[in-house]
Chain A
Amino acid sequence: MSNGTTAALPARGWLTPFNVIAGAIIVMGLVLTFMRFTQGLGAVTNLDSYTPWGFWIGFDLLAGVALAAGGYTTSAGVYLFGMKKYHAAVRPAILTGFLGYSLVVVALLYDVGRPLRLPYPFLVQQGTTSVMFEVAACVALYLTVLFLEFSSAPLEWLGIKKVARIISKLTILLTIFGVVLSTLHQSSLGAMYLMAPSKLHPLWYSSFMPVFFFVSSIAAGISMVLFEASISHKFFHHKMDKHYEEASAQLVFGFGKAGSVVLAAYFAIKVIGVSLDHNWKYLATGYGAWFLVEILGFVLLPCFLYALGVRDKNKKLIQYTAGWTVLGIIVNRLNVSLVAFNYHLPNDLRYVPHWMEIGISVFLITVAVLVFRFIVTRMPIFFEHPDFPQDDH
């Protein structure tokens, strides 16, 4: 903890353990990046033609996008559903969302074979029958929306008052637009795997995958906001104003309650999914046990723990549960993309991530964390800018 605190205080010098480790990761990441872009995907990944989507898609894209859902869930809750009292939580959530989505796009630059052609689906030729086209369009638009939503912070920081006020006026419109786009692409990430009915294990494959992905993204967003708030509180406590602190304390119980409800709904539709496809028989297999771990251990358990935490006003329990749920979402997305995918293949043909793939993901996350630190230590994220008191929308 002291490490983090000192790390957040540049005044005490740069040679903190946090900075040393982050520096090492960045050096490694740069080397791996060089390898990736000079020797090809084969040099740093274990991807093959049976498993064309590996750790980067499963973790960086699927889990990343789900966990970046805090932006739209929080802003929708505060601005649209009238939960004004959590107002101060919006900015950190939007920032996390913006950085998360940026990280996803950067990760995609690593993953696609020809990164410079990433704008092709918009500029050169449109494959409108593809779910991925929809995902790409929504992610691109949503990134823009997030950027605009987030931009008020740097604008205030830089003192560009006029533009900041215009952005502030657009809040409701941007929020609605953000929710629409998020609904679409969160669900479409699940829809992408609809194309592989014979490759994805029946317990995970369902025609409801888009709904599963969407609903779980709400739970992920809620949990990520809670998780991130508790982490931030540890490291950026000094940057928080009274406003934020108050909202944050209330937020834990409000969001905990919401998390419990959403997870309960998610559990229900997962059970419906299993029974509609008559998949009960698979529960008695090895994959079935793992499925039960996911759905009991990472859905039903946190659902229960959130409820317990809210009832007992146990802030710590809710925060740990949030962390556990975040882990659960990652497990779910990795299950769909890696564990249950290609379940029919013999073991020697199955994919296991190369350490360098994980290395690059860690590198990207480290960069995102550093950017986050840069921003929150400077811009009005955890506090209100004195010149821009938050007006009611």
Chain B
Amino acid sequence: MESMMVKTHRRRTWPQAAGLLILLLIGLMAVDLYGDEAPGDPGRADLITLDGMKLLRHELERAPVQFKHDTHTDVIKADGLDCSTCHLSETSGRLSQKFMRLADENYERTMEVYHSNCIGCHQRRLDNDQESGPVTCGDCHRRDPEYTDNRQPMGFDHSLHARHIAATHNKCESCHHEILLTEDEENEEAKRKPSSCRDCHLKVDSRDVPSMSRSAHWACLDCHRQLDAAGKSSGPSRCAGCHDAAKQAAWKIDPNPPRLDRDQPDNVIVSSGIQAPGAHRMKPVRFPHKAHEGYTDTCRACHHGHMQSCSTCHTLDGKHQGAGITLENAFHSFKLDGTCINCHEGSKKRPECAGCHAPMAQNEIPQSACTVCHGGDQQGSPTPKNAQEAEAGTAIAAQTFSFSPGTIPETVLIDSLESKYKGSLFPHRKVIDALLKGYDGKPGVAASRLAAVFHRTNDTLCQGCHHNTPVGQLPPSCTSCHSAPFDENNLNRPGLKGAYHLQCVGCHQKMGLDNLQGCSDCHKPHASKE
């Protein structure tokens, strides 16, 4: 009888246990299916990961803390406090960038600084019924970071620099301290030529020089804060002010900032710098430096951190100090950023250029292009600063285009393939005009110096469509080469229909023209077809 009871009891529990197990797993499944939906978090620019103890060669015991700097700045400001609430003053009077300490002594000490001060403050505020932060371990040391770091790198461009020049009333020494500090005669050179900050301040602290990041935060923030305190207009003092993508995009941009005056040449003779008599080398390039200053936002775009000439580091045989990059590659590589070729190649992707250039093979320099830069036989030293003849006599000659009436047809009827649709009346003159004079507010070839330099003749322009036509010849009909598609003997050549459509439609697409929506935009259907 007893055994019967045991059995009945068991019979009830097992299905229950099984049911419970299944419910549990289904629950898990549901949590998983719906749990991983990421919130639309744009990320924050003010996140500081508190893992500085790693520098003390000590692994963190818990996950590093994500610290929201701006949130804390705002709270302190609202309480009428200032930065010294969290940052101590160094002997120099500057605020330490570390939290509540001047230096890291050891792991335990640093940890103690954070724990007592953070939790202490949070707890005080909680006790006072104020908005506060976490006081338990796991709420700060979160294994899954709460926010995504969206901090943008920060640097001056010409426009921002110009605004600071105006704001400081041309007092370069307010920021470029070496001018201020250097009093001796020998360093007169340095005094006249403030260099880029990154010339000395590297990515990480060196023995005597703080990192770019640390010095910039001192220099910029101190100044901004002082101006703030004086009630004057100043720059941002919150993290997001400089490092948030949206804020950066909203900055006032001076489209034509004044030229930076640091004694740079207007034109530079670019050569390997090696004078070997009798050796045949590439002819040097007369580089219009002044003209190119306007094409970049910063000097750094070409000059890395410092302002020396390229061949100082990039030698013909690729020395270590030039990161193994040869002089030739420093100018001509398609793979490296900031080379001449790469910048020029990139400009072909502008809509007003891409119509013709997109179908052409990428990353290929036609032989004829070498002499465009390496064409002159100029010798000698760079032109002196502000030379009167600046560009007129020395720079590379640019082409001016002219198509006199009658040299090109007004319209061309393309109807050799008429079948389902009627032929298309191609407005030849209108297309040429758009290329030359621009369209939709985009500049034409004639207005672009780069284009004017590299398109050497009128015929160069024609070759956009009439490719392979010898210079100075009347273009032959497309049917001369293009006929039936998929010729086994010439795999890459499109058939006639493909050639027309690829050329016209491709160009319209690449130039950003949306006036081709369907077949009937070019072709009229046959009268017979309704």
Contact = CB atoms under 8 A, between A and B. Distances in A.
A290 B33 contact: no
Contact of B30 (A286, A292, A296): A286
A289 B7 contact: no
A124 interface: no
Given A284-B32, A286-B32, A317 B25 contact: no
A290 B25 contact: yes
Interface string A295-338: 01100010001000000101011001000100000000000000
B26 interface: yes
A293 B10 contact: no
Contacts of B11: 316-317, 320
Give the secondary structure class of B's interface: helix
B397 interface: no
Contacts of B32: 284-286, 288-289
B172 interface: no
Contact of A292 (B7, B10, B25, B33): B25
A35 B9 CA distance: 50
Interface stretch (B14-22, B119-127, B244-252, B460-468): B14-22
Given A296-B21, A297-B18, A297-B21, A290 B10 contact: no
Given A314-B7, A316-B7, A289 B25 contact: yes
Contacts of A285: 32
A289 B28 contact: yes
B26 A293 contact: yes
B412 interface: no
Contacts of B33: 286
Interface string B18-44: 100110011011101100000000000
A320 B30 CA distance: 29
A293 to B, nearest CB: 5
Given A297-B21, A312-B7, A289 B26 contact: yes
Contacts of B25: 289-290, 292-293, 296-297
B84 to A, nearest CB: 48
Interface residues of B, number: 15
Interface residues of A, number: 19
B29 A317 contact: no
B25 to A, nearest CB: 5
Contacts of A286: 29-30, 32-33
Contacts of B29: 286-290
B10 A317 contact: yes
Residue of A288, A289, A320 with highest tally of chain B CB at under 10 A: A289
Contacts of A293: 21-22, 25-26
Contacts of B30: 286
A305 B14 contact: yes
Residue of A285, A288, A293, A314 with highest tally of chain B CB at under 10 A: A293
Contacts of A316: 7, 11
A256 to B, nearest CB: 14
Given A284-B32, A297-B21, A317 B26 contact: no
A79 B28 CA distance: 47
Contacts of B7: 312, 314, 316-317
Contacts of A297: 18, 21-22, 25
Contacts of A290: 25-26, 29
A314 B3 CA distance: 10
Contacts of A289: 25-26, 28-29, 32
Residue of B21, B26, B29, B32 with highest tally of chain A CB at under 10 A: B29
A253 to B, nearest CB: 15
A342 B122 CA distance: 52
Contacts of A284: 32
A142 B7 CA distance: 41
Contacts of A317: 7, 10-11, 14
B88 to A, nearest CB: 46
A293 B15 CA distance: 14
A312 B10 CA distance: 11
Given A289-B25, A316-B7, 19 more contacts: A286-B33, A287-B29, A288-B29, A288-B32, A289-B26, A290-B25, A292-B25, A293-B22, A296-B21, A297-B21, A297-B22, A297-B25, A301-B18, A301-B21, A305-B14, A314-B10, A317-B10, A320-B11, A324-B18
Interface of A: 284-290, 292-293, 296-297, 301, 305, 312, 314, 316-317, 320, 324
Interface of B: 7, 10-11, 14-15, 18, 21-22, 25-26, 28-30, 32-33
Shortest 3 CB-CB contacts between residues of A and residues of B: A289-B29, A286-B33, A286-B29
25 contacts: A286-B29, A286-B30, A286-B32, A286-B33, A288-B29, A288-B32, A289-B25, A290-B25, A292-B25, A293-B21, A296-B21, A297-B21, A297-B22, A301-B18, A301-B21, A305-B14, A312-B7, A312-B10, A314-B7, A314-B10, A316-B7, A316-B11, A317-B11, A320-B11, A320-B15
